[in-house]
Amino acid sequence: MVLIKSLPQLVLLYAVINKMCGVYGLLSFLTGHPIDAVQWVYYLSSTAVMVLYIQGFRRVQTPNINWFSLVVFVYLLDTVIGFLYTGYFSWLWFSEHDNSVQLTARAVTEDLSSQSASEAYELFVTVALTVITSLVRLYFTAIMLAFFKEMRTAAKFDARFRISSASASSSAVRWLNKAQHQSYSLLNRIV
Amino acid sequence: MSSISSSPGTKIGYNPIKLILRLYAEFLVAKKQNNLLIELNHDFKPTLKHFRNLSRAAVINLSIIGSVFLFVLYVLPISFLLKLLLAFGLGLLITVPILSQFFLFGLPILAWVFLFFSAGKIPTSWKPPISVKILPSMETILYGDDLSDVLASYTSKPLDFVAWFPYGIVHFAGPFIVAALVWLFGPPTALRSFGWSFGYMNLVGVAIQQIFPAAPPWYKILYGLQPANYAMKGSPGGLGRMDGYFGVDLYTTNFSNAPVIFGAFPSLHSGISTMNALWLSYLFPKYSPCFACYVCWLWWSTMYLTHHYFFDLTAGSVLAVTFFFVAKYQWLPLRKADCFCRFNYYRLEYEDPLQNDPLNYEARLSMEDAVELDDATSSGESTPVDDDATVESSLFTA
């Protein structure tokens, strides 16, 4: 019986694991591996988003709506933009790797060729995996939105789930609070 | 009540001798108070008693493991007599009480070890074709670049050592240490959940590696994207450099003749380190950032040593997280912050997702009612740890 509380916890942990790619991508700065502007933006944003998800994950046992409207909204945004990135990176990969070269290599080793995957099989699995991960991502987004919705319902009984404004001391806190309010009102328009 | 058990929350340092003495003292106190939870079964006479009235989950569990063992026995190229002996040995492990109390719950781990070491003996004609391009393409499509390539593109001797330590040393010793810690510092029966989650994660991982054989990054470096076949030898990747430094053949021979060569996906190095980190965080939540850092460190070494693509690492960790949380919500007793070790637990309490759901207002209301009821009826039965939490959580006692 894993219920609404445990699922966002898992979804956020999976998201943190995947967003770790940002940190490792940024390490290319040290190893001198060339990456383009889109990749820079992708890795920087992944790292930032990962930090936010870690904050969400730490608070998931005792959630409050301020943090979670921000987390859920970023998750939604991340899904949408993530699809664009997936499209771009697929194009990047398939334009770089010309298939004709491998076909001749395959013809040489005829006797053992049954043990290696055919070009069509590899392409099929790649596309299938991409589609499956995208669907899982959509499902996870639905879970996060449902969590937000549940929270809004719970707000009728529990003050913890009502959006609050910080009596802001520092500008960072004020800015964070503003972002939380923004995402709250945007999410309210969607779900 | 002795002074030790009345203050189980007192801080103690990391002096191993003090730790052992404290554990022994707690053990003696628990013995004196006749704590049945920590009793071990010392019986040698084989019995099938624990197989009576099995739950449906237990039957499914045993059937899965049983079929793995049957498959392994079928595949292993040894004489029939040896196979019978092996089966007999397994039978003893799960029927002799003094052994079965541990091994019954360690069966998934045993099944994994058996499957892993017999994987090389599976007839080649049964094996699916090896893919060489799927993983690098998934890495780029999902994570934007050949991350494993990025990290392996610069190597140096000091970095080799930094990468070798978690990959070649901690990885092999870690699970034993974690298991011992779970047994000592977790609540009684926690080790069962560890065995289940750890074993099944690896079992499923190795099964995926067999069904979906894929070449690791070192293959791409050695052969490019050429087609692979099962006659090919494995490679130690970057670990080969360590053999050069030490002048001892630690990894080259082992990795060249490894039972699973095209088992890049999912990475069980990643899975095992994540599992260790999750269990250690359960035991010592204060240090969970350190355990997470260890996982990141190991991730880096696997890519630096050209053993895995980033996609394999995330898949391994996702497997670990999934099995850990299933075990946590199904069987794992709650760890109490004021209990020092297993000898301090006099009753087990379990996570109740419905009652603990922070958004479920009705459940929380009914729970508050129930606590008052419970307070009135069972307050006479006090425990050594008598605070409010115990009374409240006694509701969940199985």
Report pLDDT for B40: 80
CA distance B346 to B333: 12
> Residue B392 and residue B374: Cα distance in Å, rounded?
8
Nearest CA in chain A to B136: A93
ipTM above 0.90, yes or no: no
This model's pTM is above 0.90: no
User: What pLDDT shows up at residue A115?
Assistant: 76
Amino acid, res. B285: P
Is residue A111 one of the residues assigned to a domain?
no
Is there a contact between A30 and B229 if contact means CB atoms under 8 Å apart? no
Alpha helices by DSSP H, listed for B56-170, are 56-75, 80-95, 97-118, 134-143, 147-152, 157-164
Looking at the domain assignment, is residue A14 inside a domain? yes
Q: Residue A129: inside a domain, yes or no? A: yes
Distances from the Cα of A89 to the Cα of A189, B58, B137, B172, angstroms: 31, 45, 9, 36
Contact A112 B142 (CB under 8 A): no
Residue found by looking up tokens 């730490």 in the block: A58
- Does A30 map to a domain? yes
What domains sit in chain B, N to C, each tagged with a CATH number? Answer: 3-104 (no CATH), 128-330 (1.20.144), 352-396 (no CATH)
Beta bridge partners of residue B131, listed in sequence order: B214
Distance CA A12, CA B325 (A): 13
CB contact under 8 A, A86 and B142: yes
What distance in Å separates the CA atoms of residue B362 and residue A185, rounded to the nearest whole number? 27
Q: Mind telling me how many Å the CA of B84 is from chain A's nearest CA?
A: 33
- The shortest C-alpha distance from B147 to chain A (Å) reads 6
C-alpha distances (whole Å) from B41 to each of A157, B36, B38, B85 are 50, 11, 10, 25
Min Cα distance B140 → chain A (Å) is: 6
d(CA A171, CA A169): 7
CA-to-CA dists, residue A187 to A75, A77, A190, B64, angstroms: 11, 11, 5, 44
Q: pLDDT digits over A11-60, tens only? A: 999 999 999 999 998 888 888 788 888 889 999 999 999 999 999 999 88
Q: In terms of Cα–Cα distance, which of A119, A8, A137 is closest to A69?
A: A8
Residue among A61, A106, A157 whose CB faces B361 most closely:
A157
Distance CA B273, CA B297 (A): 10
SS3 B55: coil
B350 three-class SS: strand
For residue A99, the model assigns a pLDDT of: 54
Among B128, B143, B325, beta carbon nearest to A21: B143
Mean pLDDT calculated for residue range A138-155: 89
**Are the Cβ atoms of A115 and B151 closer than 8 angstroms?**
no
CA distance A74 to A99: 37
The dihedral of CA B229, B199, B143, A73: what is its sign? positive
Structurally, chain A folds into a number of domains equal to 1
What are the tokens at A58?
């730490």
The answer to whether position A138 is within a domain reads yes
Chain position carrying tokens 């070890």: B113
Q: Taking CA atoms, what residue in B is nearest to A153?
A: B359
Q: Please indicate, yes or no, if residue A112 is contained in any of the structural domains.
A: no
- pLDDT attached to residue A110: 52
Find chain B residues with C-beta within 8 A of A38's C-beta: 144
For residue A106, is it within any domain? Answer: no
Which stretches in chain B have pLDDT values below 50?
A: 1-10, 369-398
Please judge whether A102 and B154 are an interchain contact, meaning their C-beta atoms are less than 8 angstroms apart.
Answer: no
B62: left (phi over 0), alpha (psi -120 to 50) or beta: alpha
Structural domain range at position A149: 6-99+117-190
Distance from CA of A183 to the nearest CA of B (A): 20
Q: Is the pLDDT of residue A104 over 50?
A: no
Q: What is the pLDDT of residue B208?
A: 94
Task: Say which of B132, B226, B314 has its CB closest to residue A17.
Answer: B314
Selected residue with higher pLDDT from A75 and B356: A75
- Residues from chain A contacting residue B227 (CB–CB below 8 Å): 102, 105-106, 109, 112-113, 115-117
Residues of A in contact with B150 (CB under 8 A): 24-25, 27-28, 31, 33, 35
pLDDT at B353: 65
pLDDT of residue B9: 45
Q: What is the pLDDT of residue A111?
A: 56
Residue A71 lies in a domain: yes
